[in-house]
Each structure stands twice: as structure tokens, then as C-alpha cells.
Amino acid sequence: MNIYAGYIRVSTDDQTEYSPDSQMKLLREQAKKDGGMIPEEYMFSDPGISGKDAAHRPEFNRMISLAKQKNPPFNRIYVWKFSRFARNQEESIVFKNMLRKNGVEVISISEPLVEGAFGSLIERIIEWQDEYYLINLSGEVKRGMMEKASRGEAMCRVFGLDIQENAYVKNADNVHVVDIFESYDRGESFRSIARRLNDAGVRTPRGNALDNRFVEYVLRNPIYIGKLRWSTEGNPCSKRKYDDPNIRFFDAKAPRTVSEELFTRVQEKIDKQKALYTKTDRPNTGRPWLLKGIAKCDCGGAMVYASAKEPSAQCNNYNHMRGCTVSHHISQEKLKNSFILGLRNCCAMDNYESDPLAPIVPKTTGATPDYEKLIAAEQRKLKRCADAFQAGIDTIEEYASNKKEINERIRSIQDELAKQSSDLSPEERKAATIKDYRERTMALIHTLEDDQVSVESKNQAIKLLISRVVFHKPDNSLIIYFK
Ligand SMILES: [Zn+2]
């Protein structure tokens, strides 16, 4: 027998409503008709609450926490009306989606869904509306949060500070914030700071290990000099766009962690460092050529456009005297011809193994990824997003967009998994893979030899199949790595 739950909430505004006892009776009857029962312990009921004054719902919260467990004790929640299930439509949508992911349905007995194909269409429209509602809602949320920001109230969880009654107060990690600012000011790098604090057991507010991006995020956050950063676009502090023109600053209800002088000095240092970094490391700008972003020197550096008598390529590390001491100069024409020859060689062979002049190493060998594990990891992320939303860290807008992104990833992993688990033996699968590679390689050669195709399009086409082409100067060979 299926075990279900029931939730009762009586509106005191509505005099025509059924009494709690009659609602309970109706829910139990419907559960029985559906082949299950609602035991006493899973009949949840919050007393008559009117309209918006509904913040306190202990039984509702207890029910949700049971339904969110790994193996929920019931797989259905019966309610009289959806509007009784949550305080408002947006909350109802969020909870329903969250529970559905955990295998728990919410069923309204006075608003039954239509059966059959038409019913499933309606369900889909409702789901679509749910998503639309979540997105649309963000306007309201934005306004509300902007108002909160302008009052300097604490909204986002921040490293080294806790939130108490809408204000920030220092916590135990605050000393690490001071350390981060002072160490960076003394010349230590983001990465080194992150590594050192990680080794000391320091974690982000979400319990993750620190990385260099997190260190930068801390250094960029004006909350440590008592200012709240807020974008008029409604982006909360977690967005890492430091030069967003829509950003406004407000005096925050927060103590100062570092001095304004130190903060300003650190900002200037970061800007300077960034400018340096972007000047020398731009593999994807400049003149287009066939193997741009694909050809590498055997030292690991990128082969970049070199102007000589004829269009050529040269190792970027050699150009900048960064550890590559042998000139890897080669004409683009020669590089292109060897590349196409290499592709032809691998089409001619049964397996994509080597040819002495142009060894071809496909990346198709090796273990297939553990798809179940990948999916489980995505699902954990989804749960963290839901938790972050519930805890008020993420806005509904952020939650909706994260959820959409993660679900898309899960679907593509599932597609991949379905492809892998079709009933092929390892040999057959290998043969199918090689056949697939050969067909794609031939199509690529065709594209490369087509004079009507622009060099940018050819470059794009190569990137779909080839991850990199390594130029080995000593024996003048190319190694082609397939994706
Ligand atoms: Zn090199």
C-alpha cells in the first residue's frame, strides 16, 4: 500500500471553506481511491492563518523536510487547493518543483488535472508558466532587494562576516580576510594565498576549498570597508563583474575589516596586474589563420601568426623568450599541407595509430567517463542551488537560471550515456567510433580544400574535431590530437 501525506491549512478569511476535519476526511478518501493511505503521523495541519500573515508554519516546514529526505517516507502530498500548499504562487512553484525532483508529487483534490494527452499538454503549459513566473517574478525581487541594499542591509553571505538582524558582524574567519588583504599587498599571489589558507583548513562560506578567484572576490568586495555593492540590474553581490557600470555603492550595516587606504591600494594593484595579464596573453585575438588556437609548439606554447615574406607561424614562447629556445618558424602553407596529409593518413588507416612522419594520436582510447557519477554530481549541484535559494543566498532569478543550466547538462550526459549503453561489444563500439571519426575527418578535409569557405569557418570546423596539433621541430613532425 502506498503511503501518502496530507496538508491542511484553513483560511480564516474564507467563511465558506470546509472545516479542517472535513478537509482531512476528503483528502483521506481521495488517497484511498488512489490506492494508498494517509497515516495519522503524515497528516500535517497548520491552524487558521489569514492572508499574508503566514510566516509561521511549523507543520508545513516539518512536512517539507521529511519530503526532501533521501528516501522520503511518502511520495504524494494531498492538499485541498494548491493555494493552501504555500503562501503564494511563486513559493508553491518552487516547492512543487523541488519535491518533484525528489519523487514527491503534490496533488490538489479540488483542482484535478485533466487525463490523457490533453492533460499532459496542460501540465506542460503549467510547467512552462511556472518557469515563466519564476523569471517574471525577478522584477519584483529586484525592486525589493534594491530597496534593501539602499538601506545597507545584509543580504548575501560573505566570508568573514555573519548576518545578524540584517546587519553584518565579524566572525572567526575575519582574521583571514585581513590576512588576504595584507598578504596580497605584500606581493603574494591569489593562488599562493588560496593554497596557504586551504592548507590551514580555511573554507568558503559554502564549505568549499578556496581558489584564486575566491581570493580575488574577497579582495574586490567593498563590504570590508563598510560599503555594499549592488547592481541596478538586480545582480546581487555574488556576480563577479567588477567593472559593471550599473553598480552602486551604499553605506552598509557592517563593521570595517580593513582600512580604506589598504583597500584602494589593493584595487589598484589588481587592476595593474590584470592589464599586464591581458596584454601578453591573447591567443584569440589578432589576424585569423587556419590553425589559430589549435597549433601548439612542443614546448606547450601556442603557435601564433608570424609575418615574414610569406604568412608563417611561430611559437609564442619563443617570441617572448619564455623558455622556448629553438625557433619553431614554419610557413602556414607548409603547416596546412602537413596537417591535411596527416588527416588523410588517418583516414587511410584502420585505427588512428601512428605514421612515422605524422603520428596521429586520437583521444578515443582510455576509459569512458562514469556517467552515473557525473549525473549524481550535477544533482548535488542542483540541491545546493535549491538550498542556496531557500537560505536566501541566491535570488529566485539566479536559482531559475542555475537550475535550467544544470538540467540541460544532465540531459546531455543522459544522452551520452544512452549512446554508450546501447548493446555494442567493446570491439563494435571501437569500430563504430573509428568509423565515425573517419567520416568526420573526410568531411573536414573536404571543407579545408573548399575555396568557397572562409578561413574563419575552416578554423571553426577544425575545432569541432581536433583539440590540438603539436609541431615537433626536431623531426619536423605534427601530432594531431582528436577530440
Ligand atoms: Zn615553443
Low-confidence ranges of the chain (pLDDT < 50): 51-54, 237-239, 279-284, 353-367
Q: How would DSSP label each residue in 4-27? A: -EEEEEEESS-TTSPPHHHHHHHH
The dihedral sign for the CA sequence 148, 150, 155, 160 = negative
Rounded distance between C-alpha atoms, residue 362 and residue 166, angstroms: 56
3-state secondary structure of 95: helix
Residue 172 and residue 408 in contact, taking contact as beta carbons nearer than 8 Å? no
Q: Which CATH architecture has domain 151-280?
A: Alpha-Beta Complex (3.90)
Rounded distance between C-alpha atoms, residue 283 and residue 360, angstroms: 24
3-state secondary structure of 184: helix
CA of 314 to the centre of ligand 1 (A): 8
CA of 460 to the centre of ligand 1 (A): 24
Residue 359 has a pLDDT of: 40
CA of 329 to the centre of ligand 1 (A): 10
Rounded distance between C-alpha atoms, residue 302 and residue 314, angstroms: 8
CA of 23 to the centre of ligand 1 (A): 77
Residue 51 has a pLDDT of: 44
Contacts made by residues 284-289, CB under 8 angstroms, sequence distance 24+? 288/455, 288/456, 288/459, 289/313, 289/332, 289/455, 289/459
CA of 328 to the centre of ligand 1 (A): 7
Residue 107 and residue 117 in contact, taking contact as beta carbons nearer than 8 Å? no
CA of 298 to the centre of ligand 1 (A): 6
CA of 173 to the centre of ligand 1 (A): 44
CA of 315 to the centre of ligand 1 (A): 5
245 HSE (CA, 13 A, CB side): 0
CA of 354 to the centre of ligand 1 (A): 23
CA of 301 to the centre of ligand 1 (A): 5
CA of 479 to the centre of ligand 1 (A): 15
What residues are paired with 45 via a beta bridge?
8
CATH superfamily assigned to domain 2-112: Resolvase, N-terminal catalytic domain (3.40.50.1390)
CA of 277 to the centre of ligand 1 (A): 19
Instruction: List CB-based neighbours of ion ligand 1 within 5 Å.
Output: 297, 299, 301, 315, 317, 324
Rounded distance between C-alpha atoms, residue 476 and residue 454, angstroms: 28
CA of 363 to the centre of ligand 1 (A): 23
CA of 326 to the centre of ligand 1 (A): 7
- The residue ranges of every structural domain in the chain are 2-112, 151-280, 283-483
Distance of CA 283 to the CA centre of its chain: 25
User: Any idea what the Cα angle at residue 182 is, between residues 179 and 187, rounded to 5°?
Assistant: 120
Rounded distance between C-alpha atoms, residue 203 and residue 195, angstroms: 11
Most distant CA pair in the chain: distance in Å? 92
Residue 239 has a pLDDT of: 44
With a CB cutoff of 8 Å and minimum separation 6, the contacts of 249 are 222, 227, 228, 229, 230
Other CB atoms within a 10 A radius of the CB of residue 457 amount to 12
CA of 313 to the centre of ligand 1 (A): 11
CA of 49 to the centre of ligand 1 (A): 73
Reported as a single tens digit per residue, the pLDDT across 134-182 is 555 556 666 677 777 788 888 778 899 998 888 999 999 999 999 999 9
CA of 459 to the centre of ligand 1 (A): 21
Rounded distance between C-alpha atoms, residue 60 and residue 86, angstroms: 9
With a CB cutoff of 8 Å and minimum separation 6, the contacts of 21 are none
Residue 151 has a pLDDT of: 83
With a CB cutoff of 8 Å and minimum separation 6, the contacts of 372 are 417
With a CB cutoff of 8 Å and minimum separation 6, the contacts of 187 are none
Reported as a single tens digit per residue, the pLDDT across 360-387 is 444 333 345 677 777 888 888 888 878 7
CA of 36 to the centre of ligand 1 (A): 70
Amino acid symbol at 58:
P
Other CB atoms within a 10 A radius of the CB of residue 220 amount to 15
CA of 188 to the centre of ligand 1 (A): 29
Model-level pTM?
Answer: 0.37
CA of 213 to the centre of ligand 1 (A): 29
| Selection from 369, 365, 373, 358 nearest residue 478 by Cα | 358
CA of 322 to the centre of ligand 1 (A): 8
With a CB cutoff of 8 Å and minimum separation 6, the contacts of 207 are none
In degrees rounded to 5, what are phi and psi of residue 68?
Answer: -90, -5
Other CB atoms within a 10 A radius of the CB of residue 134 amount to 21
In degrees rounded to 5, what are phi and psi of residue 108?
Answer: -95, 125
Residue 468 has a pLDDT of: 87
CA of 316 to the centre of ligand 1 (A): 7
Residue 13 has a pLDDT of: 57
CA of 319 to the centre of ligand 1 (A): 9
Amino acid symbol at 166:
N
431 HSE (CA, 13 A, CB side): 5
Instruction: Please report the beta strands in 72-160, taking only residues with DSSP state E, as ranges in sequence order.
Output: 76-79, 105-108
CA of 331 to the centre of ligand 1 (A): 15
Instruction: Please report the beta strands in 143-291, taking only residues with DSSP state E, as ranges in sequence order.
Output: 161-164, 167-170, 227-231, 247-251
Amino acid symbol at 308:
A
Q: Which three cell numbers stand for residue 179?
A: 590576512
CA of 478 to the centre of ligand 1 (A): 14
CA of 280 to the centre of ligand 1 (A): 16
CA of 282 to the centre of ligand 1 (A): 16
CA of 321 to the centre of ligand 1 (A): 9
CA of 323 to the centre of ligand 1 (A): 8
CA of 324 to the centre of ligand 1 (A): 4
Other CB atoms within a 10 A radius of the CB of residue 147 amount to 10
CA of 297 to the centre of ligand 1 (A): 5
